[in-house]
Amino acid sequence: MVTKQPRWAPDPETYAARKSATNDTYRELPDREVQLRDTGIWWTEVDTARIRQSDTDQAWRRFRASLPELIWNAAKLEGNSFTLPEVRSLLDGVSVGGHRTAEELQVLALREAYGALRDLVGYGTFGVDKSTSDRLNRLVARHETPDAGRFRGEGTLRRDGSELLRARYAMLRQHLAEIDDPWLQALIYVCSAARTRFYPGGNKRTALLMMNGILISNGFDAVTVPYARRLELDHALDTLFTTDDATELMALLVDCAISEG
């Protein structure tokens, strides 16, 4: 079952992305101080008008067909040495030699996480909420940290900072709930979550999964940064982490979506 229309219920547990506005060029942006207060990042104008939109069913089917490439790219950007044919073999249950166990486990964890996202979107249960993010992080980082699926400070090493992270996540969701354009929602989410680092590990991969959940639920294709553009990604992430400016990373993700389309 694939939902044709994403849900929109801005209460804390059932929030999901809203359909896009007609004009996808962001012309009226909130004050930078408001952006930083609500999301921990700031950005300037980004144009998404050329990005193709279809419907949830078609986007979901294309997502399912491209899962090996998405998983390979996500792993490759983490420094994983598996090739795309090797990833395909591993996903088909065929053992692949010549790699560290940690690399194989990373690919298998990504398979589980992307499979979970496929099912969440397919059954209309994907939501932009902490429980969904926790579930995806638990799968992505399950072999990397004993606290996978829990915000920093919520797990084995409990610290007061976990309350601040939960408050930041609530502010982010409230900010997204006031935005009509799902592409802007997705961009803000992925940049804010990557910058804030809610989890002990797997933050960028989890943020990308959540971003693609928003996009697919609204009839846009899933997006990833090709490994060939890793240097651009590294530069954009460095800018984000040193200045809180997400504009460069947002523009890169938009360009990747246009290039793939």
Give me the tens of pLDDT residue by residue for the chain, a chain 261 residues long: 454 444 433 333 333 333 334 444 444 455 899 999 999 999 998 888 778 888 889 999 999 999 999 999 999 999 999 999 999 999 888 888 888 999 999 999 999 999 999 999 999 999 999 999 999 999 999 999 999 999 999 977 666 678 999 999 999 999 999 999 999 999 999 999 999 999 999 999 999 999 999 999 999 999 999 999 999 999 999 999 999 999 999 999 999 998 775
- Distance (Å, whole) CA 76 – CA 71: 8
Domain that holds residue 52: 32-260
User: Which ranges constitute the DSSP H helices of 77-197?
Assistant: 84-91, 101-122, 130-140, 161-177, 182-196
Are the CB atoms for 212 and 74 separated by under 8 Å?
Answer: no
Spatial CB neighbours of 115, under 8 Å, sequence gap ≥ 6: 67
Asked if residue 17 is part of any domain, the answer here is no
Asked if residue 27 is part of any domain, the answer here is no
- Distance (Å, whole) CA 138 – CA 86: 24
Asked if residue 26 is part of any domain, the answer here is no
Asked if residue 251 is part of any domain, the answer here is yes
Buried b (16+ CB within 10 A) or exposed e, 7-42: eeeeeeeebbbbebeeebebeeebeeeebeebbbbb
Write down the pLDDT at residue 177: 94
Write down the pLDDT at residue 178: 93
Spatial CB neighbours of 205, under 8 Å, sequence gap ≥ 6: 74, 78, 110, 113, 140, 141
Write down the pLDDT at residue 96: 87
Write down the pLDDT at residue 16: 38
Asked if residue 93 is part of any domain, the answer here is yes
- Distance (Å, whole) CA 42 – CA 192: 9
The structure tokens listed for 193 are 């979550």
pTM: 0.86
Are the CB atoms for 56 and 4 separated by under 8 Å?
Answer: yes
Are the CB atoms for 92 and 66 separated by under 8 Å?
Answer: no
For the domain that residue 97 is a member of, what is the CATH number? 1.10.3290.10
Residue-wise pLDDT tens digits, 120-152: 999 999 999 999 999 999 999 999 999 999 999
Write down the pLDDT at residue 15: 34
Q: Which residue has the tokens 């942006």?
A: 29
Neighbours of 5 (CB within 10 A): 12
The total number of structural domains that make up the chain: 1
The total number of residues written for the chain in this structure? 261
Asked if residue 3 is part of any domain, the answer here is no
Asked if residue 171 is part of any domain, the answer here is yes
Asked if residue 7 is part of any domain, the answer here is no
Write down the pLDDT at residue 17: 37
Write down the pLDDT at residue 157: 66
